[in-house]
Amino acid sequence: MDTQAFIIPNSRKNNATRASIFLNHAFASGTFKNVYVGRYTAGERAGERCVAKEFKTGSVFQEHYFNEEMSVIRRTQEVIDDWWNAGIIGRRIFLNTPAVWTYEVSGKKALVEPIIENFEKLNSNSGWVNLVGGAWGEVMQALSHFSYHNSAGQILLCDLQGGPCSDGYILSDPAILSQTIRAYGPADLGPDGIYSFFRRHRCGSFCKRWWRTPTSQGVARFPMTRGTTMVPNPPARVRYNPLARIPK
Ligand SMILES: [Zn+2]
């Protein structure tokens, strides 16, 4: 007799091959991306709504941004898989996994992923915490802390945002802070960002007492904001595309 093991992935993918995007107005505007809503027209998700995220800056160096974004997604997926395997909570956390799609007419590229209904932000990359985020809010503060512990202090997963679904919670568009500023793109505030997070982090019921925290608290150099704080490009890259800082 055959035995089959079904593995449910902790990711949520497009599962579609084509979509119509409504470009007449931006659904949301982030620090350096515009988000448009659309609908899948072919594939398993045909009929469901999706979003297309476009970088605000010019097209020439977009490849660079797409690659950075996908490296954040890959690393985040590892954290979420480890979190699930550690059995900290019984409910699932899924990561929305975008893919780079190309518009048929303009040839421009965008990151496409399934839409998240009831979207909310639960923490930022500068230590802001949604104090009315409920149980999922507390789970996400623990997920950030777990990512630091689980990576032996190498990274911090943050900018956690998304929405609840029937079988858990879906995250989208996170940020990773690392030991090398900007290694994970412009939202990677480096070690100072990690210190800023822990200066403002209060362990809740899902954090474990033995999880590591930075031994030196350093300086909370970045002002705490709800939006995503971006670091300017290093001098070598300024000629490509200076990124706008978030307005104070
Ligand atoms: Zn904690």
Reported ipTM: the value is 1.00
Ligand 1 centroid, distance to 211 Cα (angstroms): 7
Ligand 1 centroid, distance to 187 Cα (angstroms): 21
d(CA 112, CA 130): 27
Q: What pLDDT is recorded for position 231?
A: 74
Q: What pLDDT is recorded for position 219?
A: 65
Q: Which residues surround the ion ligand 1 when the cut-off is CB under 5 Å? A: 145, 203, 207
Quick check: 136 and 169 in contact, CB under 8 A?
yes
Ligand 1 centroid, distance to 212 Cα (angstroms): 9
User: pLDDT tens digit string along 236-248?
Assistant: 333 333 444 444 4
For residue 86 the two structure tokens come to: 């550690």
Which one, of 176, 172, 57, 152, lies nearest residue 112 by Cα?
172
Q: Could you give the residue ranges of the DSSP H alpha helices within the chain? A: 62-85, 134-150, 190-200, 235-238
* Angle made by CA atoms 172, 147, 126, in degrees to the nearest 5: 65
Ligand 1 centroid, distance to 82 Cα (angstroms): 16
For residue 236 the two structure tokens come to: 């070598």
* Angle made by CA atoms 93, 6, 18, in degrees to the nearest 5: 65
Ligand 1 centroid, distance to 50 Cα (angstroms): 33
User: pLDDT tens digit string along 116-143?
Assistant: 989 999 999 988 999 888 999 999 999 9
Ligand 1 centroid, distance to 207 Cα (angstroms): 5
Ligand 1 centroid, distance to 159 Cα (angstroms): 15
Four-way CATH pick for 14-227: 3.40.47.10, 3.40.710.10, 3.30.1300.10, 3.20.200.10: 3.20.200.10
Quick check: 38 and 19 in contact, CB under 8 A?
yes
Residue 175: CB atoms within 10 Å? 26
Domain ranges of the chain: 14-227
How many C-alpha atoms does 8 have within 13 Å on its Cβ side? Answer: 9
Q: What pLDDT is recorded for position 248?
A: 44
Q: How many helices (H) and strands (E) does the chain have?
A: 4, 13
Ligand 1 centroid, distance to 11 Cα (angstroms): 24
Q: What pLDDT is recorded for position 60?
A: 43
Low-confidence stretches of the chain (pLDDT beneath 70): 1-6, 57-62, 217-220, 232-248
Quick check: 14 and 43 in contact, CB under 8 A?
yes
